[in-house]
Amino acid sequence: MQITVLAGGIGGSRFIRGLQRALEQDHPGSQITVIGNTGDDIWIHGLRVCPDLDTVMYTLGGGISAERGWGREDETFTVKDELAAYGVEPSWFGLGDRDIATHLIRTQSLRAGYTLTDVTAALCERWQPGVRLLPMSDDRAETHVVVDDPSGATAPDGAPLRTAIHFQEWWIRYRAELPAHEFILVGIDEARPGPDVLSTISEADLVILPPSNPVVSVGTILQVPGIAEAVRTTSAPVVGVSPIVGGAPVRGMADACLRTIGVETTAAAVAAHYGARSAEGVLDAWLMDTRDAEQVPAVEALGITTRAVPTMMTDIDATAALARECLSAGAVLARA
């Protein structure tokens, strides 16, 4: 089987680890391609940082900090502390010493003219994540967030001035607590899907939207010109898993993202936002948590095959069981 997953960072990579386990046991020889979100990418102190690609690479390669869920295990932050001692901003980004080696190699290679796809493949030679990890695009397209100026600056009429800040500043520095008016994907209109991104969607046996952030992870990937169309038209079934359980994100601040785009924080509202493939959307099937079982009929009514299953990725076995639910939903759709 060829399976293509559109993934953000923590939720996406945890799911993929379970998917690998399920495939090893049930369908050995299967291949997973991960299309990674690069809308979170940022330049920090002259380094090109790709948080979601690195989270996938470290998680699947055994280098992730289990406690933090991002960055390296056994990490130290000496460089970050030294930069702060110089008073250099930004000081809010968690740049670890081990992690910096990855960013140095990436930055040097990009400057030498390699594409992000090439550089990611080269970094993965060390980590052996067991998947093909493809950036959604080799072009720069970063998520910015329109907020009221955090300094409190106002226009002559007293109205708050608006400013756009990088997604990471909104997410990490302000913990998504600054009300966001809008997300702007700077450069998205000119961004092209990375090499093989479209073909790995159209030639897959199954496409999965894992429990990643539906706005700033999966939503960003789907906005790269051509990618949503490839998902809509692939002959493979498309199965999604809800990142929203019991009306709240399991982890992180996806509710603040959903609020910004006017979508309720419920599993059913996220499914409606993605939409049925039979109605210009991207989903054939939607798996949401057993706690949200009462929402199944509402999602079914949209033309999306819906099941309530345990979706909490508490350990590898629970996650593999969730992945098996995706595989069986896909198999049922493929037979139909």
Least distance (Å) between residue 64 CB and Ca ion: 14
The Cα–Cα gap between 262 and 300 comes to: 22
Question: Which residue lies nearer to ligand GDP by CB, 83 or 287?
Answer: 287
Least distance (Å) between residue 10 CB and Ca ion: 8
Q: Which of 11, 50, 52, 131 binds Ca ion (CB under 5 A)?
A: 52
The Cα–Cα gap between 18 and 30 comes to: 14
Least distance (Å) between residue 52 CB and ligand GDP: 5
Question: Which residue lies nearer to ligand GDP by CB, 132 or 149?
Answer: 132
Q: Which does 209 bind (CB under 5 to 8 A by kind): ligand GDP, Ca ion, none?
A: none
Least distance (Å) between residue 4 CB and ligand GDP: 15
Question: Which residue lies nearer to Ca ion by CB, 116 or 304?
Answer: 116
Question: Which residue lies nearer to ligand GDP by CB, 180 or 241?
Answer: 241
Residue 214 interacting with Ca ion (CB under 5 A): no
| Closest by Cα among 50, 42, 49, 71 to 59 | 71
Distances (CA, A) of 314 to 54, 94, 208, 228, 318: 21, 25, 20, 30, 6
Q: Are strands 285-289 and 305-309 parallel, antiparallel or unpaired?
A: parallel
Question: Which residue lies nearer to ligand GDP by CB, 109 or 211?
Answer: 211
What single DSSP character describes residue 188? G
| Residue with smallest beta-carbon separation from Ca ion | 9
Residues of this chain that interact with ligand GDP (CB under 6 A) are 7-12, 52, 55, 211-213, 217, 241-243, 245, 249-252, 254, 311-313
Chain residues 11-30 in contact with Ca ion, contact rule CB under 5 A: none
The Cα–Cα gap between 297 and 141 comes to: 37
Q: Which does 243 bind (CB under 5 to 8 A by kind): Ca ion, ligand GDP, none?
A: ligand GDP
Question: Which residue lies nearer to ligand GDP by CB, 134 or 241?
Answer: 241
Q: Are strands 162-166 and 142-148 parallel, antiparallel or unpaired?
A: antiparallel
Q: Which of 4, 6, 8, 60 binds Ca ion (CB under 5 A)?
A: 8
Residue 9 interacting with Ca ion (CB under 5 A): yes
> Binding string to Ca ion for residues 194 to 213, with x set by CB under 5 A, is what?
--------------------
Q: Are 227 and 193 in contact (CB under 8 A)?
A: yes
Q: Which of 6, 7, 40, 323 binds Ca ion (CB under 5 A)?
A: 40
For tokens 């291949």, name the residue. Answer: 31
Distances (CA, A) of 229 to 18, 139, 143, 226, 277: 28, 19, 21, 5, 10
The Cα–Cα gap between 207 and 38 comes to: 19
The Cα–Cα gap between 190 and 320 comes to: 38
Q: Are strands 132-135 and 142-148 parallel, antiparallel or unpaired?
A: unpaired
Chain residues 141-200 in contact with Ca ion, contact rule CB under 5 A: none
User: Which amino acid is present at 39?
Assistant: G
Q: What are phi and psi of 48, to 5 degrees?
A: -90, 115
Element housing 97 (H / E): helix 97-111
Q: Which does 234 bind (CB under 5 to 8 A by kind): Ca ion, ligand GDP, none?
A: none
The Cα–Cα gap between 71 and 58 comes to: 8
Q: Which does 230 bind (CB under 5 to 8 A by kind): Ca ion, ligand GDP, none?
A: none
First to last CA, the chain: 18
Question: Which residue lies nearer to ligand GDP by CB, 238 or 245?
Answer: 245
Q: At what angle do helices 116-127 and 51-61 cross, to 10 degrees?
A: 20
**Count of residues binding Ca ion (CB under 5 A)?**
4
Least distance (Å) between residue 288 CB and ligand GDP: 8
Least distance (Å) between residue 56 CB and ligand GDP: 9
Which residues contact Ca ion (rule: CB under 5 A)? 8-9, 40, 52
